[in-house]
Structure 1
Amino acid sequence: MGEFEFGASEKLWLLLAVPLILLIYWALLRLRNYKLRRMGNPATLKELMPDHSVARGWIGITLFALAIGMFILALAHPRTGAKLTHEEREGREIVLVVDVSNSMMAEDVSPSRMERTRYAITQLVEGMTEDGIGIVAFAEEPLVVMPTSMEYRMAKSKIKSLSPSLIENQGTNLHKAIETAALCFTSKKEDAKNRVMILITDGEAHDEGVIEAAKRAAGDGIIICCIGIGNPDGTTIKIDGEYVQDEEGKYVVSKLDEALLQQIAEIGDGIYTRSSNEEFGLDTIISRLDEVEKAKMQNIKYADYEEQYQWFIGAGMLLLILEMLLLPRRNPLLRDVRLFERRSDEKRK
């Protein structure tokens, strides 16, 4: 049996219902006792209700609350089997290298460069059937969002998280992004003809070493395709409804550096295309991908989980049955059995 976890852990907050049920019962019990005290002497009322048991009431409500807790745990999808397996498949390895710097929030491409990028690469992943996909986000520093795998559903989930908030230090460090992405491929170097890096950025690189990083990646047989997203003439950057300004109070202007991206694509034996409102540029990239040979690659596969919710449902049902079988009052046949009082009487004698 593998690691135990909850597939819908966000629902575990509902477990607060368990202590809440007990708290409500306690409050109602206090209210009931208050009303009874106003009706008459507690000793007299106890004689009038000899079969009433406070302890049984607490046991019953506790069983009910625990049953609710078990059903909530079942709702959170408890499961086992969280382990990774590696298998060899034949296909292409594609690593998406996505710029998440603040300049990607510019709205010269509708609705914004970032939104348009997320939508386009999601469409790319949806069309995949036998290619490995990896995701690297970058600003001033790169971040491996997802290692190369054929887990397309996970890839689409990770794509939704792409935004400037992923990386604290802002900027556009292309050479670190290329170097990090080059390490994400699992294919052996001798089978490197199937490895493709797709770089999506506004091309505003202010760091040195970009060309050298591209040459090293190309030397390892990695094909580099580039998509430039933005306006070569420049556009202001709007974030949360306000235009970004520099330290001098001037509006920051983001310009697409097409010459740099064209040079990177040429070095990497890939292709460069510019995104626009009409066409993101993926059709051009896909045409280049169709020319790439398929080769053996290591696919990281997540083992299927075994759902364990049935055990929690069963436990919840058992607790409810026990709660229903528990009589709220003392058994009248055993009412006169007072073993402890009897022993006390004998001691007094």
Structure 2
Amino acid sequence: MEMFRFAHPDYLYALVIIPILVILFWLSRRSRRKALERFGQMETLEYLMPNVSKSRPVFKFIIWLFTLSSIIFALSRPQFGSKLKTIKREGVELIIALDVSNSMMAEDIQPNRLERAKRAISRLVDNLSDDKIGLIVFAGDAYTQLPITTDYPSAKLFLNAVNTEIVPRQGTAIGAAIELATNSFSPQFEGNKAIVVITDGENHEDDAIGAATAAAEKGIIVHTIGMGLPQGGPIPIYRNGQKDYRKDKEGNVVITKLNETMLQQVSAAGKGIYVRANNAQVGLNTLFNEIDKMEEAEMESLVYSEYEEQYQWFIALALLLILVDFMTLERKNKYLKNIKLFGR
């Protein structure tokens, strides 16, 4: 099976000029006809101009449209992939589990914990090359936001859509996120796998340590990043454009604090490392350096290694059409006018 592609597909946008030229040609023909009608009836004028052809200019215009189209296709360099080969790439598979609970809106890390984490993940994606990445979001439940992929632009697109409303049920189910991530790696991938949990560590839902232990037993490293400062901060809420803070049943402002002990225990159970974020750095680069030290497994993929150029066919067609246009006169040939090749 051959693979077809355009080496420079941007040139195809020039085809938009074709319908524009058709409209301009039609307007020109209509304007010319109206101008002639001012001098008399068309039947009389046609009798007075026996060598003028109505169809030849149209035919020549169509030739030039096809000529222009052929040149545009030639510039876009159509190619057929002729040979397949297997290439080996080195990389690891990385799944980031991002906490999107309301506590991640605390502003002890500027501008807030969630936004700072998203910016750090975006910078991490910019630095990836052969690694695969996936994204899981969690609060009271865990969901796959992006299946594991090497499509980095899509990863950033899905990341931009993350907010605290993306998971309906509130909470911090770190264990569920680790379990989902553990089952989300490529089944056929036998290389190194890592999970990075980014959260403030306020886990009230499940056994995160047990989930990290189970992942480690499968050869999956679990790292954690603590988002938040030890002293914590209030959780802002906005009503009618006014900023307020979440309060408990007694009316006291809720202070969300980083549960550093929990995250240290999770990373230890997952045989990974723990990094605390602050206003200077989040820690993803530190963890990625650790991931880079892992033995990178080879990932195989089939690619077309050779492409055969096809633009010469369109160049040949354009030259042929130019020759046909050159041999086609606007007016009827007095020797060939009885041959009704173009009608009238």
TM-score using structure 2 length: 0.69
Higher helix share: 1
C-alpha distance in 2, partners of 1:68/1:112? 55
Q: Deviations over 1:48-99 (max 9, x none)?
A: 443333322222322333344445556767555499976556x552403153
Instruction: Answer yes or no: is 1:160 the counterpart of 2:151.
Output: no
C-alpha distance in 2, partners of 1:145/1:221? 20
Contact 1:229 1:276 in 2 (8 A): yes
RMSD: 4.6
C-alpha distance in 2, partners of 1:217/1:336? 87
Contact 1:227 1:281 in 2 (8 A): yes
State the identity %: 27
Contact 1:141 1:176 in 2 (8 A): no
2:270 paired residue number = 268
**Given the superposition, is the C-alpha separation of residues 30 and 197 from structure 1 closer, same or farther in structure 2, using an over 3 Å criterion?**
same
Letter in 1 for 2:65: A
Contact 2:148 2:185 in 1 (8 A): no
1:27 paired residue number = 27
CA shift, 1:141, in A, is 1.6
Q: How does 1:38-187 map to 2 (within 5 A)?
A: 38-70=38-70, 80-81=80-81, 93-99=92-98, 101=100, 106=105, 108=107, 109=109, 116-117=116-117, 119-121=119-121, 123-124=123-124, 132-139=131-138, 140-147=142-149, 154-155=151-152, 157-163=153-159, 165=161, 169-171=166-168, 174-182=174-182, 183-185=184-186, 186-187=188-189
1:222 paired residue number = 220
Letter in 2 for 1:198: V
SS in structure 2 opposite 1:162?
helix
Task: Report the count of equivalent residues.
Answer: 321
Q: Deviations over 1:269-319 (max 9, x none)?
A: 1112132331121343245336x4415443446545737573575267347
C-alpha distance in 2, partners of 1:68/1:242? 60
SS in structure 1 opposite 2:158?
coil
Contact 2:225 2:283 in 1 (8 A): yes
Q: Deviations over 1:123-169 (max 9, x none)?
A: 5456567x63322343542044443xxx6xx43x2343133537995
C-alpha distance in 1, partners of 2:296/2:215? 18
C-alpha distance in 2, partners of 1:313/1:83? 23
C-alpha distance in 1, partners of 2:162/2:175? 19
Letter in 1 for 2:134: I
1:310 paired residue number = 311
SS in structure 1 opposite 2:132?
strand
CA shift, 1:329, in A, is 1.2
C-alpha distance in 1, partners of 2:223/2:147? 19
Contact 1:228 1:256 in 2 (8 A): no
SS in structure 2 opposite 1:272?
strand
1:200 paired residue number = 198
TM-score using structure 1 length: 0.68
Letter in 2 for 1:132: D
Unaligned runs of 5+ in 1: 341-349
1:343 paired residue number = none
C-alpha distance in 2, partners of 1:320/1:105? 66
Higher strand share: 2
1:346 paired residue number = none
SS in structure 2 opposite 1:32?
helix
C-alpha distance in 2, partners of 1:279/1:53? 77
Contact 1:141 1:169 in 2 (8 A): no
**Given the superposition, is the C-alpha separation of residues 323 and 29 from structure 1 closer, same or farther in structure 2, using an over 3 Å criterion?**
farther
SS in structure 2 opposite 1:46?
helix
